[in-house]
Homo-oligomer: A and B are copies of this chain.
Amino acid sequence: MNHDAIIFDIDDTLYNSTRLSISARENAIEAMIDAGLPVDRETGTELLAGVIQRLGANSNRHFDELLEAVGVPPSSRLIAAGIVAYHNTKPVYLRPFEETIPTLLRLRDLGYRLGVITNGMAVKQWEKLIRLGIQHFFHAAIVSETAGMEKPDPEIFTVCCEQLQVEPAVSVYVGNDPHTDVFGANRVGMLSIRMRKGKHADVEPKDDAYRAVHDIHRLGDLLELIDAGVIGLPSAAEPQP
């Protein structure tokens, strides 16, 4: 059969999001200590992890609440130190996996429609596509905040397919999270591919609904799945009858 579209998750699928988070938090804590936060590095890192778990990754009050957790009064200096260090980490670690750009280019050459479906804040997720240098690669990009729904809602997958003008049944979805990416793609009948990266890498699916058709460990593996016929070529790329 043919596959006309390949749609991607961003974090830990197109770049090493886990490494960025760890580095950014470490750098922020070190900078805040340098600016006067009275805490050792290990305690600071633990307290920050607790704050992020409690507020969620998309809050903008992580550093404010870290100060509270450490027991110091609000300080713009300390917060600025954390923010600057956090931002300075991005040019270093918000980089594509080494196979991301070559693989995306090859998939476009082969005639696939390419898409992105990502959960998160719209400006932050677009920032990632821009900093990764891949904002122009996709024929559609859906961010949950803008769409008003998030993975694994089947609707966010079908909205992306509509924008790509393809059916879910001839679409491939590549993501690293069995509970949002794989489960969601399976529900709408897409070919699910699980990237074994990041914090979910070793999580085993609790049942078939969370099991991908194929697991991969690098984005370049997609090209092998195409060679093996697991992912079909685009219908437009084949000789028409």
A binding-site residues for B, Cβ under 8 Å: 31, 35, 76-77, 79-81, 83-84, 87-88, 90-91, 122-127, 129-131, 135, 141, 143, 145-146
Q: With both chains docked as a complex, state the minimum distance between the C-beta of A100 and any C-beta of chain B, in angstroms.
A: 18
Q: List 19 A-B contacts (CB under 8 A).
A: A31-B130, A35-B130, A76-B123, A76-B125, A76-B126, A76-B146, A77-B126, A77-B129, A77-B130, A80-B127, A81-B130, A83-B123, A83-B127, A84-B127, A84-B130, A84-B131, A87-B90, A88-B91, A91-B91
Q: With both chains docked as a complex, state the minimum distance between the C-beta of A191 and any C-beta of chain B, in angstroms.
A: 27
Q: With both chains docked as a complex, state the minimum distance between the C-beta of A76 and any C-beta of chain B, in angstroms.
A: 3
Closest to A135 in B: B35
Majority SS of interface residues in chain A? helix
Copies per complex of this chain: 2
Nearest first, the 8 A-B pairs at minimum CB distance are A76-B122, A80-B126, A80-B127, A77-B126, A80-B123, A76-B123, A84-B130, A76-B126
